[in-house]
A and B are shown apart, each in its own frame.
Chain A
Amino acid sequence: MAPDPDAALMVAFQGGDEAAFRALFEKHGRATMAFCQRFVKDSARAEELAQDVFLKLHQSADRYQPSARFTTFLYRIATNHCLNEVRRGEYQARPEIDPNAEDGAPLDPDALAGPGATPEEIAHGNALSRDVQAMLARLPETQRAAFVLARFEGLAYEEIAQVLGTTVPSVKSLVHRATVSAARALESWSGKGAEA
């Protein structure tokens, strides 16, 4: 396995180097917030969850073993924290809607679609995002976690197994069942991507 520069930063932080911790937050904080948004969608709450994750990381740094990839350790904390949040039930199927928008579009559509997107692409992306979020909210929690880690974070099945504390065959089954559910829920979107 290639040396993990983040692991070196984490070890430096274990030794008391606060600048190393800040370097880790500046590298992974925004991605952690994006990950949390797959579970709550409310951006203010997602930011708060991402902050919680890094506070936990700060407090539990002594438990980190450099033999594990830093991102695996981080995803484990983040996944557990987000699933605890989902278990409260408060945020299920709660898309982030701008109350002032006439058509119920998500907040800041320009930021959602990225630079250079046409109005049609923005509308397509927003509508698909809402349907995906609703689909995610209906998945059982471990399927949801496995699906997000595989589809949006791009983790290999082996790493997902480490994050979720389960086996690779179990991850394979979780990802498959979630993907089939997603394929059925989003059937009307299949093939629309090229048309938009």
Chain B
Amino acid sequence: MTRNEAHVADDLTALLDGALDPVRRAEVEGHLSACDACRAERDGIARALSAFAALPPPPPPPPGFEQRFYARLAREAPRRRSFLERLSAHPFRWLVPATGLAAALAVGIWVRQAGERADLEMARHLDLLENYVEVASLGVVETPEDLEVVAHLDELREGRP
């Protein structure tokens, strides 16, 4: 039996759903024209699909559907907080100034000892490194926007634009 002659039951739902590619559709329709059993199977599936069309739509939600959800959202969903808000609410937020001071001292000693031009060049970027060390230790750097805030943490602390 060739593929064209084989029964096509497995493709009948896809045929009725219009989900067969044109080549397979032509093969299945060719088979159906000559096979009573597959035609009967197709007609049974088609009748069931018509029965589903008689189903009433699900009942609408009771009044106040949206309001009940918004009330639950207000209770259960945390407001999407900014990076600085997450930082200020962290239980170990006191580590920020302490770690920053320690890092600044370490950096200062290191810069003084090195004294080379290349290191001085690197030191120009140490404020960024220092800020990152401070906040990364708290595990609150999550997005690229957070890194942007890290880069400008000193300005934000001092209220500069």
Contacts and interface: CB of A to CB of B under 8 A. Distances in A.
Interface of A: 16, 18, 22, 25-26, 29-30, 33-34, 37-38, 43, 47, 50-51, 54-55, 58-59, 62, 106-108, 111-114, 117, 122, 124-126, 128-129, 132, 150-151, 156-157, 172-173, 175-176, 179-180, 182-183, 186-187, 189-193, 196
Interface in B28-78: 44-45, 47-62, 65-66, 68-70, 72-73, 76-77
A132 B19 contact: no
Which of B12, B54, B56, B73 has the most chain A CB atoms closer than 10 A to its own CB? B56
Contact of B72 (A33, A55, A179, A189): A55
A125 to B, nearest CB: 4
B158 interface: no
B116 interface: no
A37 B60 CA distance: 11
Contacts of B11: 176
Interface of B: 10-14, 17, 19, 44-45, 47-62, 65-66, 68-70, 72-73, 76-77, 80, 143
A176 B52 contact: no
Contacts of B45: 179-180, 183
The 6 closest A-B pairs by CB, nearest first: A183-B48, A193-B54, A190-B47, A125-B56, A176-B13, A111-B59
A183 B57 contact: no
A33 B61 contact: yes
A173 B48 contact: no
Contacts of B70: 22
Contacts of A126: 56
B55 A150 contact: no
A108 B59 contact: yes
Contact of B51 (A50, A106, A189): A189
B66 A51 contact: no
B19 A186 contact: no
A157 B68 contact: no
Contacts of B49: 151, 179
A170 B14 CA distance: 12
A193 B59 contact: no
Contact of A157 (B17, B50, B59): B17
Contacts of A59: 77
Contacts of A43: 59, 61-62
Nearest to A117: B56
Nearest to A171: B19
17 contacts: A33-B61, A47-B68, A51-B69, A58-B73, A58-B77, A112-B58, A112-B59, A128-B55, A132-B52, A157-B19, A176-B12, A180-B13, A182-B48, A183-B47, A190-B47, A190-B51, A192-B54
Nearest to B47: A190
Contacts of A187: 44, 48
Given A25-B69, A132-B55, A173-B10, 19 more contacts: A16-B80, A26-B66, A29-B65, A30-B65, A34-B58, A47-B65, A50-B69, A114-B56, A124-B54, A125-B56, A156-B19, A175-B13, A175-B14, A176-B14, A180-B45, A187-B48, A189-B48, A190-B47, A192-B51
Contact of A34 (B47, B57, B68, B80): B57
B5 to A, nearest CB: 20
Contact of B60 (A30, A38, A172): A30
